[in-house]
Structure 1
């Protein structure tokens, strides 16, 4: 009975230590045993514990999490990569959205803020997440002609044939909402190379090729025909 009680206490104490940051979980009198554990047997089981817990973002209260996420989105919208890095390290959620459904990831992708975008991807951005128009980050990036951003998003695995609430894919939006210039042509090449389907029709029943021809974008039309 005594042995079982000691086992429960040991388990509880282990859980408590894991749930609290190392600085607050270890009393000031106990630093000596901590280094002693690795010394006794090199890569013994106590060593990975502190290292893995320090790699995790801090656990925040709901209120602190909301505020950190809010500041993270603002930093992303300001294209402040250094601040974004700090707030991610402080526990900011790159998938958290503000009241107009922007997340740090979605906004960076839409606006071509590539350093911020890479930070959000490294922090676990949901590449299938959608904005207030029901579109992925790839759709506005394609519309705006952010060629390097499109490359990053395709490589990250954003779906190339997603259809937003307006009934447009990234390819359709790249054609319909820009000027058909060199950047748009580069975007079309990338989308076609990634397997995007130009035969998906818009709400008016037109394919990407039909829209390119209708708007006089001869280079884009040629790209689609030659796919």
Structure 2
């Protein structure tokens, strides 16, 4: 065997994956996944420190961080983020840790994700932002945080043709918390005139739903804008 052939053979051997190493890594990833699901912080940290991939996914393409977020395991989420977990990684339903935290009103997690690379151009399966479902579900403090985050697309329109303001009015019940959400959005500079896909404005929707307090808020905002 000449030197060139020997070099090629050795190079191939070096670049071929080691089956034993690959199996061991898969076992580590699987163990990490189970540790996150069971909220075993110490075990998860051991696996991460040993080199297990922090962006491991389950069979539904859920990331470890999304699993922790869905389970409301804040300390586990902190650990994963500290090891470089992607806060925008989406599963097969287009859910991400950041989007899910917004939809479920996990404001402290949102703060963590905002400080660690949360993107505002990643949307859920309804082409919605983290803010829109927060408005629908009445998560006041989450709305306050996102609406006042620099650069957040407060007037983003989802696949239904609704903004965050429209979502709060159409799917809200006009109660005190929805009134507060509308106030927050107005104060943050949302466009109160943006209609839905059929041309119906937030004010018209509020009138139809007999949300008198919100009608008053919108009229006052329009009056201030006209000055």
Same fold (TM over 0.5): yes
Q: What is the aligned counterpart of 1:198 among 189, 192, 200?
A: 192
- State whether structure 2 residue 156 is matched by structure 1 residue 141: no
Q: Distance in 2 between matches of 1:224 and 1:64?
A: 46
Aligned 1:53-92 pairs, distance under 5 A: 65-67=55-57, 70-92=63-85
Contact 2:54 2:80 in 1 (8 A): no
Instruction: Name 1:29's counterpart in structure 2.
Output: none
Contact 1:75 1:81 in 2 (8 A): yes
Q: Which protein has the larger Cα radius of gyration, Structure 1 or Structure 2?
A: 1
The number of equivalent residue pairs is: 169
Gaps of 5+ in 2: 1-47, 222-227
User: What CA deviation, in whole Å up to 9, does each residue of 1:44-91 have, x standing for no partner?
Assistant: xxxxxxxxxxxxx99x78x66333971110001111110000111122
> Corresponding residue for 1:177?
171
Q: Which of 96, 99, 110 lines up with 1:103 in the alignment?
A: 96
Q: SS where residue 88 of structure 1 aligns?
A: helix
- Contact 2:135-2:165 at 8 Å conserved across structures: yes
**Using a 3 Å threshold, how does the CA distance of structure 1 residues 81 and 225 change in structure 2: closer, same or farther?**
same
Using the alignment, how far apart are the partners of 2:149 and 2:92 within structure 1? 26
Structure 1 vs Structure 2 CA RMSD: 2.0
**DSSP-derived class of the 2:102 partner:** helix
Structure 1 consecutive aligned stretches of length 4 or more whose deviation exceeds 4 Å: none
User: TM-score by structure 1 length?
Assistant: 0.70
Match of 2:181 in 1: 187
Counterpart among 202, 209, 214 of residue 208 in structure 1: 202
CA positional deviation for 1:99: 0.9
The residue aligned with 1:10 is none
The 3-state SS of whatever aligns with 2:63 is helix
CA distance in 1, matches of 2:163, 2:72: 26
